[in-house]
């Protein structure tokens, strides 16, 4: 099946696979968003334990998905992996650090005689939920705004900015996507808490979660609006059939218009996120996480599809146009893509496994009696 495909078809297939993983990560960032809400919504030790233990059931999924995304990019588009991770290593090291302290926090927050104290580990969770997602958003935005690198004829990376990727966080365009992702993660985090916690006898606690969820959603809107308007009005790069890159006005608007299914995905995604928040705020429903989560996945897919399809370099260079990376010049060879494509057929089974155990873990809502035992985080 895959062996008879042309290499460009395989490259497109693997960009879709990587896009799905990236979009799933954005949904699973509800863990980070919930962590950033901890000090706002939880006013007692029981409420804190409910939040941390509810999120503690899922925190590995976010990190695992991020690592899987990185692994898929390494295997299918190794030139991007070596360029971004080898050149912009400071920003990736900072992101990795925020996930390391997250793991440490879940492991040691409630351990007796821990020398840092519970507050420090809660600060680690907050850092992961804010700084970590902000930097990831800024890094993703460079798929459009570009990065400061050149490639030699032997594909050695020359990063021309001393901050090694951290400079992405000083761009208003990049920051707008980063802040939106932080606020969207907080929105999803609040919706997940409403879905997973038994709030019996905790009316004020539920009210605080609902209020913070709605406020996070409202704050996210101007940043999303700025990012979308700036994206659709900005010039972008385009490559021709022989790989020569040039600057094109309103490139991403042209991409959106030439791929109407992507425009529909964007609109549907935004509507679903609004629906999820509406159900929580005005209908007191605990099921808002599902439409909002699906909506986030669709918006994430839109971002990746606009960046990589329609002859668009998905990792543009601001220093040398012909160093920009595309799904054509950054991919593995035909044989590698074919072998990995057969392996990718196992993905639905993995997703089914995750779904099954998700239902098992969340089949019963977490109650205050369950967070007082020795297994609580």
The mean predicted confidence, pLDDT, of the chain is: 93
* Rounded mean pLDDT, 171-196: 97
Domain range annotation of the chain: 2-371
Question: Do you know the residue count of the chain?
Answer: 377
Q: What is the pLDDT of residue 376?
A: 64
Q: Work out the angle at residue 142's Cα, subtended by the Cα atoms of residues 141 and 146, and round it to the nearest 5 degrees.
A: 145
Residues 128, 257: Cα–Cα separation, whole Å: 36
What is the band of 22 on the pLDDT scale with cuts at 50, 70, 90? very high
What pLDDT does residue 374 have? Answer: 47
Residues 85 and 325: their CA atoms lie apart, in Å, by: 14
Q: How confident is the model over 215-244, as pLDDT tens digits?
A: 999 999 999 999 999 999 999 999 998 889
Instruction: State how far the Cα of 129 lies from the Cα of 124, in Å rounded to an integer.
Output: 9
Model confidence at 372, pLDDT cuts 50, 70, 90, reads low
Q: Which of 14, 4, 104, 7 has its CA nearest to residue 341?
A: 14
Tokens at 318, concatenated: 């601001």
Strands 236-239 and 245-248: antiparallel
- Write the pLDDT tens digit of every residue in 252-293: 999 999 999 999 999 999 999 999 999 999 999 999 999 999
Per residue in 302-315, pLDDT (tens digit) is: 999 999 999 999 99
| pLDDT the model gives residue 60 | 86
């Amino acid at each position: 099946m895959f062996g008879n495909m042309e290499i460009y078809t395989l490259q497109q297939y693997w960009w879709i696979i990587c896009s799905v993983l990236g979009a799933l990560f954005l949904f699973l960032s509800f863990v980070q968003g919930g962590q950033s809400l901890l000090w706002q919504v939880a006013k007692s030790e029981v409420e804190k334990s409910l939040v941390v233990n509810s999120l503690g059931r899922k925190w590995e999924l976010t990190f695992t998905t991020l690592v899987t995304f990185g692994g898929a990019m390494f295997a299918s588009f190794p030139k991007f992996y070596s360029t971004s991770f080898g050149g912009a290593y400071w920003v990736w090291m900072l992101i990795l650090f925020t996930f390391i302290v997250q793991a440490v926090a879940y492991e040691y927050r409630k351990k007796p005689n821990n020398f840092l104290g519970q507050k420090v580990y809660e600060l680690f969770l907050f850092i992961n939920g804010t700084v970590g997602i902000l930097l990831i958003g800024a890094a993703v935005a460079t798929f459009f705004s570009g990065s400061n690198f050149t490639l030699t004829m032997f594909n050695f990376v020359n990063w021309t900015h001393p901050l090694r990727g951290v400079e992405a966080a000083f761009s208003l365009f990049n920051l707008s996507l980063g802040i939106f992702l932080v606020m969207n993660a907080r929105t999803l985090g609040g919706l997940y808490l409403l879905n997973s916690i038994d709030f019996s006898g905790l009316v004020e606690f539920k009210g605080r979660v609902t209020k913070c969820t709605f406020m996070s959603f409202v704050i996210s809107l101007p940043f999303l609006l700025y990012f979308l308007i700036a994206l659709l009005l900005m010039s972008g790069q385009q490559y021709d059939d022989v790989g020569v890159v040039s600057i094109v006005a309103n490139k991403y608007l042209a991409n959106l218009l030439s791929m109407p299914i992507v425009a529909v995905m964007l609109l549907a995604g935004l509507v679903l996120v609004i629906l999820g928040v509406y159900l929580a705020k005005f209908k007191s429903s605990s099921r808002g996480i599902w439409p909002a989560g699906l909506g986030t996945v669709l918006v994430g897919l839109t971002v990746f599809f606009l960046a990589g399809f329609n002859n668009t370099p998905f990792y543009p260079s601001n220093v040398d146009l012909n160093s920009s990376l595309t799904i054509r010049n950054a991919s593995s060879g035909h044989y590698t893509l074919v072998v990995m494509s057969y392996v990718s057929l196992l993905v639905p089974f993995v997703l089914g496994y995750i779904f099954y155990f998700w239902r098992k873990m969340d089949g019963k809502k977490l109650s205050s009696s369950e967070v007082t035992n020795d297994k609580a985080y």
